[in-house]
Structures are given as C-alpha cells and as structure tokens.
Chains A and B, each alone.
Chain A
Amino acid sequence: MELLASAVICGVIVLVGAALLFSKRTSFDHFIDGTKDGIRTCVGLLPTLIVLMVSVSMLSASGLVDFLAEKIAPFCEKIGIPSEILPLVIMRPISGSASNAMISELFEQYGADSFAGNVASVLLGSSDTILYVSAVYFASVNVRKTRHALPAAFAAMLFCVFFSSLICRLLLPQD
C-alpha cells in the first residue's frame, strides 16, 4: 500500500521533470511561479492559523475534548468511529485552517499513525469546508434559497465520517 502511494508521488515528480525537459508548453520559470504562489498562500494563512491554534490549544488543555470523547465513546465504539475525532468533525465543515489546527493537535495527542490519526487524516482528505464552499458558490449567483443543499452536504459528510473509519479499519495496520 505504502509502496504504491510512494510510487505515485515519485512518478508525478519524474513526470514533471520530463515535462520540464521535453515539453515546450511549460518552463522552469512557471514552476517557480507556482512555488511562489504556494508559499504566499501558506504564509498568508499564518495570522488566521495563529489565532485558531491558540483557541484549539486552549480547548484541548481545558480537558473538554477528552471529557466529551469519553462520554460519546460507547456510542462511537458501536458504529466503529474513534471518539477522538469529534472536534475535527465539528470543525471540518466550517473552516479549513481551524481543521488543520485541530488535526495537528490530534496528531500530537494521539499520534499520526494511531487509528484516530488515520481516520482523521482520511476524513480531512476526503471532505471539504461545506459552509465556506456553498457560501462562495451560492453567493456568486445571488441565491438565497439553497433548499436541500446543506442537508445533503451534511448527510454526505456524516457518511464520510463513518466510511473513513471503516476504510481505515480495513486497509491500514492497527497500532
């Protein structure tokens, strides 16, 4: 599994190298421009991340997350979801930076390769910020009556929580 994933990553990089050598449609300058853009985006997010990281650290230091996780653990165990990912599930639809802050806190507490860490990763990778995305798209065409858009998106997100736990149990080695 890891071998295949690493092969894909290396394949992409080799493809880019080949494109830079042989293709006339791209150039190294453009590659560097893209890199600059990425750096700018990442650093541009820093002020938001600082503020959110403070609140996420406070939340985890207050013990509330552990308290709630313990409360819902019996229920979560029945459907096979690690209860530690609860704060991430709540934060994911609202903000990308906040969920990045959440997941790095979760990795620090439980480990990136733990079951909870794996499920959180798969969840973060296969879902998006529902509220932000739908706000951007519906606002662009002045739509106020969004009808069943949010219910359907949240239902899909809940399914995603369930399915990411299932797939981690099936495909990834358990610690």
Chain B
Amino acid sequence: MIHILGKIFSIISIISLIFAIFTGNLSQLAGAMLDGASKAVTLTLALVGTMGFWSGVMCVLQDIGVCRLLAKVIAPILKFIFPENCKKGIATDEIAANISANMLGLGNAATPIGIQAMKALSKANGDDGTASDDMITFVVMNTCAVSLMPTTLIALRRAAGSANPFSILIPVWICSVVCAAVAVFFAKAFALFSHAGYKMKNARDSAPPKTRESKAGTE
C-alpha cells in the first residue's frame, strides 16, 4: 500500500508542477506545500477527539452484542445473495459478522473475519488461485460498504465549519444501501456475462462435442 501512495504523491506533484508552470501559479504552489503540511496536523487535531470517542462507543456497542444482533438481521438477506453457501453453511456466519462489523465502522474487527470468510469460500472452490463468483460478490459487497455511522466524515464536516455536520447521515444510509444492492447486482450480472464468455471461448477453441464434456466437468 505504501508504494501506491508514494506513486500517487509523485504523480500528483509532477502534474501540479507542470500545470503550474504553464498557468504561472508557481508561487502559490510553493506556499501550498507549506500550508498542506500544517493543514494535515490541524485536520488530525480536529479528527482525533471524535474518532477516539466513537471508537470507544463502538467498542461498548460491540460488547453489548449490537454487532451480533445486526448479523442476525442481515442473515436472511444473505440467503438471497449466497444461496448455495447458505444451504451448505459455508462461511455464512463469517460473512454476516464481517458485514455487520463494517456497518458499524469497526474496520479493525471486520477485516480478520472477512479474511476467514474468504478462506472458507476459497476452500469450497478448491483453492485454485481463481476467484469464484461468491468470492467476487463478497469482495464487491465489501468495497461498497454500508456505513451506519460515518464518524470520520462527520468530524471532517464539523472541522470544515459545516452548520449541520449530521445532515448527510440519512442520505448516506439510503445511498449506501442502494449502492450495495446495485453492487451485488453488478457482481451477479458480470458473473453471468463471464460464464457466457467462457463458454463462447471454449466453443471457439475446441470442437463442439468436447466443449459439452468440459462444461459438464467444470460445473
């Protein structure tokens, strides 16, 4: 991760420098560098209180079982998303726990459980280094996190002098739920396309009777 950020830093700085030379904003650029470094410290100061407090709050909520309650609520929905795994009971508890931890913003708790879920899904797929449809759906759901309590965001808004830092809370709930649903839809739809493409490629590569055999073998 660190080298990706290094590349981002170099790319942004070089692009900014080149553009600033063309537009004659070079003196502002040097000032911005100094401002940026100190802004990061002010921002952290503004965030540290809120983030610390909410981290404690979430810790207590986890203790009294809010996370498990949430996992129970979302378990029925998971039956629609991972029908076969739910029947066999593969990784379902881990997936429910991962998603509920993510919903509460407990990133540190969510990732290890999510990795356990991935391991179970990978085992069910034969550990062959290729992502199965369910693994992809699970990861895509994670990249589109439903967040009930976007505390960093609220703290950032407050730090920027928003009159109503909480005003975005309900839009965030609606948007993240809808987006998660759409993400699952995309994952499923792309899986259909990918299977269709795979079959077409097989049909092109080999003679028709063989294709049918190999298809029966993979499914």
Query: How many B residues touch A, CB cutoff 8 Å?
Result: 100
**What sequence of 0s and 1s flags, for each residue 1-40 of chain A, a beta carbon within 8 Å of any chain B beta carbon?**
1101110110011011001100101100011111111110
Q: Which residues of A contact B12 (CB under 8 A)?
A: 55-56, 58-59
A76 to chain B, nearest CB (A): 18
A73 to chain B, nearest CB (A): 18
Question: CB-nearest residue of chain A relative to B189?
Answer: A152
Query: How many A residues touch B, CB cutoff 8 Å?
Result: 108
Question: CB-nearest residue of chain B relative to A170?
Answer: B171
Bound-state Cα–Cα, A129 to B57, Å: 24
A94 to chain B, nearest CB (A): 6
Contact B48 A118 (CB under 8 A): no
* A174 part of interface (Cβ distance < 8 Å): no
**What sequence of 0s and 1s flags, for each residue 45-87 of chain B, a beta carbon within 8 Å of any chain A beta carbon?**
0011001111111111101110000000000000000000000
Tally A-B pairs: CB < 8 A.
352
Question: CB-nearest residue of chain B relative to A50?
Answer: B40
B36 to chain A, nearest CB (A): 3
Contact A153 B140 (CB under 8 A): yes
* B207 part of interface (Cβ distance < 8 Å): no
**What sequence of 0s and 1s flags, for each residue 175-215 of chain B, a beta carbon within 8 Å of any chain A beta carbon?**
11011001100110111011000000000000000000000
Contact A61 B16 (CB under 8 A): yes
Given A16-B60, A31-B59, A172-B167, verify A58-B115 contact (CB < 8 Å): no
Give the one of B13, B122, B147, B179 with max A CB within 10 A: B179
Contact B136 A147 (CB under 8 A): yes
Contact A95 B160 (CB under 8 A): no
Given A2-B167, A52-B9, verify A160-B179 contact (CB < 8 Å): yes
Q: Please classify the interface of chain A as helix (H, G, I), strand (E, B), loop, or mixed, using the class held by over half of its residues.
A: helix
**What sequence of 0s and 1s flags, for each residue 51-77 of chain A, a beta carbon within 8 Å of any chain B beta carbon?**
111111111111110010000000000
Question: CB-nearest residue of chain A relative to B21?
Answer: A62
Which residues of B come within 8 Å of A, CB atoms? 1, 4-5, 8-9, 12-13, 15-17, 19-20, 23, 25, 28-29, 31-33, 35-37, 39-41, 43-44, 47-48, 51-61, 63-65, 108, 111, 114-115, 118-119, 121-122, 127, 129-131, 135-136, 138-140, 142-147, 149-150, 152-153, 156-157, 159-172, 174-176, 178-179, 182-183, 186-187, 189-191, 193-194
19 extra interface residue pairs, beta carbon distance < 8 Å, beyond A126-B176, A171-B174, A172-B168: A12-B57, A25-B63, A53-B40, A54-B32, A54-B37, A59-B16, A63-B19, A98-B5, A113-B162, A113-B167, A121-B172, A125-B168, A133-B142, A141-B115, A143-B130, A146-B131, A152-B189, A168-B171, A172-B171
Which residues of A come within 8 Å of B, CB atoms? 1-2, 4-6, 8-9, 12-13, 15-16, 19-20, 23, 25-26, 30-39, 41-43, 45-46, 48-64, 67, 91, 93-95, 97-98, 100-101, 103-104, 107-108, 111-113, 117-118, 121-138, 140-149, 151-153, 155-157, 159-160, 163-164, 167-168, 171-172
4 shortest A-B CB distances, which residue pairs? Answer: A38-B55, A34-B59, A57-B36, A126-B176
19 of the cross-chain contacts (CB-CB < 8 Å) are A5-B167, A12-B57, A16-B57, A30-B60, A52-B9, A53-B37, A53-B39, A58-B12, A60-B32, A61-B20, A103-B153, A107-B156, A112-B165, A129-B143, A144-B130, A151-B190, A153-B183, A159-B186, A172-B168
